[in-house]
Homo-oligomer: A and B are copies of this chain.
Amino acid sequence: MPDSADEKLRITYVLTCGEGEDPQAKARDIALEQTVELPPGSVPAEVAGRIVGDVEKLEDLGGSRWKAVLSYDVSIVGDDIPQLLNLLFGNISLKSGILATEIGWPRALLAHFPGPRFGIEGLRAACGGVQGRPLLCAAVKPVGLSAKQLADICYQFAMGGVDIIKDDHSLANQKSAPFRDRVERCQEAVAKANALTRGHSLYVPNLMGSASGIGKRLEFVRAEDCKGILLSPFLVGLDTVRWIAETSELFILAHPSLAGAFFHPSHGIAPEVLLGEIFRVIGSDGVIYPNVGGRFAFSEAACLAINSSLRNPLGRLRPAFPVPGGGVDAAQVPHWIDRYGIDTIFLVGSSLYTQSDLTEASRRLLEAVRRHGDGGSITGR
């Protein structure tokens, strides 16, 4: 939903009503539960009008489903992401039949959150100024390999010209490849390949790990001259991502680990809101999501909706890259360029690993992407 100049935060929910459940009462209950958490009679009069949400609209969608638009005074959120999430779905997560499908962002609220520091243009610049084609991303894996073995895989991808070579999101601080050793070796391997190819491949380490150690890990990856990091917002905390986006000068690829819990069709937060808007608002420059037809269950409509949410105008926030992954077949990438446009990062994993020569497989894929050119450009779609 576009941002608005007034001071109301509007949230649209699709309510699925059970036997005998009244949609008006259900909507009103959300408005109370998410704010004062008191029955109407116990809310002080001065607070009732100002703080309790208003049910602005209730529309019958058929099949016991109702669209409810609730509005809240933006002052309830204050200035922080945790309270925004709390208002959006905190206590009502414990109820049922409530799906958050749209957020109408007041400009006063967006002003607290600068969003992506790099965005699509900044990330293209970081990748050596690649224009006119999508970016390619590969994942270094599996967990269990040594840092040296992982670095060797990075080298092969970089020799093949992959733009972004990211740690698998499961690479933490396991003994097989401890964080510092891994980052050092992988970064060095990519630099070595870049020197040979005159390329600009980037190694992007996974910063997952203890909350207390995150500052030191950030310092380390900056000292190693990494330009970006991978973060799973639900594993490290969503406001931790916001803080890193604002202060680290590193670009952020966000991973959806755990986020699937919110994607139940009748209860949760719609993927285009959670991955497309919230993840962008907290400062993700690219958001990984499971592409249709891969190992996960997203529909093409959901993928297109995420793409739009990430790229559409939203206050002064920069647009972010959609990063479809989770089983994107290298051979299908030209098809997906036509569907998604060039302002996309394609995360190709398993279908490169099933080929015997990673460098050759990467090179072929990059050539196919270059050949496909920007024929499929539908930026903004």
Contacts and interface: CB of A to CB of B under 8 A. Distances in A.
A158 to B, nearest CB: 19
Interface string A15-46: 00000000000000100011111110111101
Interface string A83-108: 10111011111111000000000000
A194 interface: no
Contacts of A296: 94-95
Interface string A171-191: 011111000000000000000
A166 interface: no
A278 B173 CA distance: 20
B211 A240 contact: yes
B82 A235 contact: yes
Interface in A282-306: 290, 295-298
A47 interface: yes
A264 interface: yes
A36 B210 contact: no
Given A90-B257, A260-B95, A80 B208 contact: yes
Contacts of A269: 261
A141 interface: yes
B51 A85 contact: no
B143 A36 contact: yes
A141 B172 contact: no
A187 to B, nearest CB: 20
Interface in A185-236: 208-212, 232, 234-236
A298 B96 CA distance: 11
Interface string A267-287: 111000000000000000000
A281 to B, nearest CB: 14
Interface stretch (A55-63, A114-122, A124-132, A347-355): A347-355
Interface residues of A, number: 89
Given A94-B256, A209-B80, A350 B42 contact: yes
A47 B144 contact: yes
A41 B145 CA distance: 16
A170 interface: yes
A237 interface: yes
A316 interface: no
Interface stretch (A4-12, A71-79, A337-345, A369-377): A71-79
B36 A144 contact: yes
Interface string A320-339: 00000010000000000000
Nearest to A176: B75
Question: Quick one: which of A35, A239, A259 has the most chain B CB within 10 A?
Answer: A239
A174 B295 CA distance: 43
Contacts of A44: 142, 144-145, 149
A67 interface: no
Contact of A257 (B93, B234, B247, B261): B93
